[in-house]
Each structure stands twice: as structure tokens, then as C-alpha cells.
Structure 1
Amino acid sequence: MALVGPSGAGKSTLLGLVNGSVPATAGSVQVLGADPTALRGRAQRQLRARVGTVHQHLELVGQLRVVHNVNAGRLSDWPAWRAAWSLVRPQGVPEVLAALERVGLADRVFERTERLSGGQRQRVALARLLVQQPELVLADEPASALDPVLAERALALLSRLAAERGGALIASLHDPALALRHCTRVVGLVEGRVVLDAPAAALTVGDLADFYGAPR
């Protein structure tokens, strides 16, 4: 599903409600059969492990090497001692390399993340999601720092990742063409309200350009 709408429409807030990082002030949220804000302890960690997020600001630690940032996708599955030891001697390197290979960064596994370009850091965030293997994939502007070719690959990768687990992808996108090529449903928000909900097959790039108020 593609979330579309102008800046400030509420797309990032909606994704935060789904992954539990933003508490609901009214109503309730059901994610994979549970309310993320009502869970605590192990139940909360288990649900979060099933939901993977590519954040708009990526949530990477620049001072750490790429391998550590990718391994962050598995921290909910590791005991605290293994997570701490991994900072000294990286764990699961073959799996990290496989994920980085899929995003074209296998040669950067031990490089400090802060030395990468914006597009490369975005691909590190995608690799982190690959090792997590979530059922529900949330992506907040996952192609914003990528060139057109890499943007297509990123959306295709996210779609495949969701399909591999029999789950779903919800992506906030500003590019109407990407939304229509990689999503089956489009939901449009304006000032926090749903004003569009339609199958992607029933829409055109021109329809979404009109919705954004942007030139075709």
C-alpha cells in the first residue's frame, strides 16, 4: 500500500501509530492482531520484531560500522550479552553480507557508516530490514535519497521482502509513478484525514499529480 499526500498530511505519524512509536490520543490501533501501545515486556518485543521500519531519518548510528547497523535488525532476537559482544566481535557476518549483497553494498560491511553517502546509508537501512525479516514492512520515504534506478530497486526489494513472509508493505511515497508501479492500493491523506483510497490499477500518474497539486 502506498501512502501519498503533501508534506504535513500525517503520513509519518500514521506509520508511527502502526509501529507503536507514536501513542494514539484517541481510538485504537490494531497491528497483526494486537494493540502495540497496550503491550509490555516480551509481548511488546515480539510484536516489534514482526514489524520492520525504514525511518525517514534512517535511525543509523554513524560512528558504528555498517555491520553493526545492519545487525540492529536482529537485536530483538538476541539476548543482551550477545548484542553487547557483537559490538566487539560482529555476529552473523554471513547473513549481514548476504543482505548487503542484495542492496549492492557488500564491499562496505566494515566501513564506518558516517563515511557513506546519503543513498548508501539508505541502503544500509534496507539491509537492516532484510536481516530482521519482518511480516509487516513500513517504509517512510524509502527512495528519497536514491537515484531513479536505485529507487526502483529499493521498492521492488521491499515488495519482495513483504511477499516472502506473506505479509504487507506500507510505504510513504512522494513519487506517483513509484506508487503505481510497486503498490496495489493507494491511500491519500490530507491534514490527517483519508481523502483517497483506491486500487492502484484504477489510478493514473495524472490522478496522483492532481492530488498532490503538482505539475504533471
Structure 2
Amino acid sequence: MSGAASGADGASARFRRPTWRDPRLLTGLLLVLASVAGVTAVVAAADRTEPYLAAARDLEVGQAVGADDVVAVDVRLQEAAGLYVPADHAVAPGTVATQRVAEGQLLPGTSLGTADRLDRKPVAVEVAHALPAEAGPGAHVDVWVAGQKPTGRGHEPARLLLPAAEIASVRDQETALGAGRGTVVHLLVTEEPMGDLVDALGNDARVTLVWNPAGAP
């Protein structure tokens, strides 16, 4: 009888409902709480937004940029945060746009600088031919030039002078005496091809712009 009673006591001890004082229950509870806290911290970090500067209007290359040209927006960038301008960055006097930023876009860290750091300058090119709708600011065009023949009659075969030049702006204007409408395209040109392009424009060469959907080389 005593052996049976002892076995019954052992079985009841094994199957006894755990209490708050049971160290196994407390350890399990702590593990669950730690897991929940870790997941909550990860989710909170992923959902955290921070203020960065965005363009309040289209910013063209060389344009002066002031406090009224930018606006603070809350975004979640995570690993890409270092590529853009934080909202606490003060726009210093003399700041210009060194690359085009469309309205509403975040300002890349490389988009602001001073005029002396510009490596491209806008050159006005008058074209008589129609441009596709895609050839707007920020798009790229190939510049083909056909110089006049020595006889003054006709033009030489066209040659590619400047591949994938970025368009800064496009303006329609009336031609002389109101004979029609032409288009003035401001192209961003580096120093190296600048002389050839200015020379072609000054010698009445025929300039043709061809939209380059592939963009900059």
C-alpha cells in the first residue's frame, strides 16, 4: 500500500499545474516578453520617419536656391538616408542647383553647391524642327551639326557633335517678324565641347536635336 501511495504522490507531482512561483514558467514568460519587445522595436524602427528637404518647385541647374525653394517632408529612407539633404540643413546664401530636381522630389546631397562648382553651363540652341513630347527638362538629346558648304550653298553632311546632352529648359518663341514659332532649348554643356558648339551656332550651322531615350552615356 505504501508503494502505491508513493507512486500516486509522484505522479501527482509530475502533473501538478504550474504556479507563478515555478521557475520554468517565469523563464518562459520572460522569453516571450523579450521576443515581443524585440519585434516591437524592429517594427518601430522600420516605421520611423525623419524630415528631409524636397524641391518646392522645379529647380534647374545654375538656379539660385533659397529657403523658399525647398520644403521639409517626412520620409522613411533607412539605408538611403545619407544620400539626401536633411531638413535641418541650412541653405546658405549663394547656393545653386548643381543638378535638376523636379518639384516634389527629395534633394540629393549632390544637388546643391556654389556656382563655381558647376561643371555644365546652359547654352541656348534655336531649333526650327519639332521636338517629341519626351524631350523636356531633364531629358537627353544628341546634338547633330551640319556646317555650311564653302560655296555658301547648302550644308555639309551632319555629324554628331554632342551625344546625350541634358535639356535644362525648353521655351517656345515667335520668329522674326512673327513669321512663325520656333523653339529655344537650353542644353547643359561641359567646357570641352563648348567651343565647337558655340562656333557652330555662330556660323549659321544647321543644328538638329535628336531625342536620346537612353539618357546620359
The TM-score range, normalised by the shorter chain, is: under 0.3
- TM-score using structure 2 length: 0.25
Higher relative contact order (CA 8 A, sep 6+): 1
Which structure is higher in helix share? 1
Structure with more of its chain in strand, by fraction: 2
